[in-house]
Amino acid sequence: MSELPPIEEAIRAIATCLHTAKRVLFITGAGISADSGLPTYRGIGGLYEDKETDEGFAIEDALSGEMLRRRPEITWKYVAQIERNCRNAGPNPAHFAIARLERELPFALVLTQNIDGLHRAAGSENVLEIHGDLHKLRCVACDWREQVGSFAHLDLPPVCPDCGGRVRPEVVFFGEMLPEAALERFLAELDTGFDLVFSIGTTSVFPYIAQPVVEAIRAGVATVEINPGRTHLSPHVRYRIPLGAAAALTKILEWRERLTGV
């Protein structure tokens, strides 16, 4: 076989790893949904790359639990902006590629930071939405809950139709605790171990997102970063693919088919 360009050689090596892997972890961030038309919020081309909100806050402060309690209209303004960007978006080839691998590999787990629901829409079932689901709403004062298709009909900030209390989406805002059940399950899966770990479209700024990759690197487990921009993990992963998620995962599947006939 003729010599391949470095990226193509790395993609072939990743496809080979997939052929032998028994337990694969896919960690995904906003970048995987970029090809669905959803903007990232930090990083290359992000809505808030080196910018503040209209009110002069960092987006992390606008979307914080503290801001939701203190000035809910600001948090809901930017939650609604995210929801408008998600509305009418569908899964892209990266989501479908992961869903396919989940079906075909012995075991695959998706840990996503995203709240857009696109992994499940693509057919993935073994998904931990560690930051929640944007379209699940609940009252902070009573047991009222509802899943909505969009926020178009909501008065912002919304109030509970049962008790008049404050309503929030079931997502983890900055400064809030992760959902205990999801975190416990993820830690149990980490204890079992993985033999291939992907970091896709995430800047890996949260320790619980970066740590599985760091631990895999220390243990000599194959690690893959797919991201057009560099992160603090980039110099350390075994394979770095500086492409968008859809392009990279499509190429990986193509090589997997060539190597295995699957």
Report, as residue numbers or ranges, the catalytic residues: 131
Q: How big is the CA angle at 92 (ends 9 and 87), to the nearest 5 degrees?
A: 150
Closest CA to 254 of 46, 97, 96: 97
| DSSP letter string, 140-166 | SSSS-EEE-S-STT--SS-B-TTT--B
Question: 31 by DSSP, 3-state: which?
Answer: helix
Which residues are registered as beta bridge partners of 223? 197
Q: 168-183 burial, b if ≥16 CB within 10 A, otherwise e?
A: bbbbbbbeeeebeebe
